[in-house]
């Protein structure tokens, strides 16, 4: 039972650690910087028409947003799975713990561990008789 409890607790700790471990999150550049950078790239490629340049920039920006959203969505799903597993394993580890505690509380105690003194009256009488002996008689 202890092995089951230990295994569940270890899995819970592992998934808790995975949940709390920082991950790289994808970020989007500021639109102003993105437009300047990508516009210069398209102009260097020979696209000079403003309408066509704007369409290319919009398409590039939307594509980058989609990629970032996919990456961040996957990160959220992974964190959610780690939370779910950590919580479930922690809850499941309570079951063997409760079983062990209930067995300990319900089962009778082992009588071999108890010390019972049956002749305590004789021991007390002997102790009293020894106290009444004078120091000279002890030798």
User: Given the structure tokens 């505690």, which residue do they identify?
Assistant: 101
pLDDT per residue as tens digits for the range 43-100 = 888 888 888 888 988 898 899 999 999 999 999 999 999 899 888 888 888 888 888 8
Q: What is the CA 80 to chain-centroid distance, rounded?
A: 13
CA distance 125 to 121: 6
Residue 32, token pair as written in the block: 């102003």
CA distance 7 to 93: 8
Provide the pLDDT confidence category of residue 130 given band limits of 50, 70 and 90: low
pLDDT per residue as tens digits for the range 18-58 = 888 888 888 777 888 778 888 888 888 888 888 888 898 88
Task: Please give the model's pTM, rounded to 2 decimal places.
Answer: 0.57
Q: Judge residue 86's burial from the number of C-beta atoms within 10 Å of its C-beta, 0-12 exposed, 13-18 middle, 19 or more buried.
A: buried
pLDDT at 74: 92
């Amino acid at each position: 039972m202890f092995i089951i409890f230990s295994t569940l607790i270890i899995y819970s700790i592992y998934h808790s650690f995975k949940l709390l471990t920082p991950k790289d999150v994808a970020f989007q550049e500021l639109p102003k910087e993105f437009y300047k950078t990508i516009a210069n790239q398209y102009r260097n490629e020979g696209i000079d028409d403003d309408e066509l340049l704007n369409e290319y920039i919009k398409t590039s920006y939307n594509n980058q947003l989609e990629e970032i959203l996919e990456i961040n969505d996957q990160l959220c799903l992974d964190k959610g799975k780690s939370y779910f597993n950590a919580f479930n394993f922690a809850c499941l580890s309570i079951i063997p713990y409760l079983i062990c505690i209930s067995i300990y509380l319900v089962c009778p105690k082992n009588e071999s561990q108890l010390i019972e003194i049956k002749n305590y009256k004789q021991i007390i009488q002997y102790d009293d008789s020894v106290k009444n002996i004078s120091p000279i008689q002890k030798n």
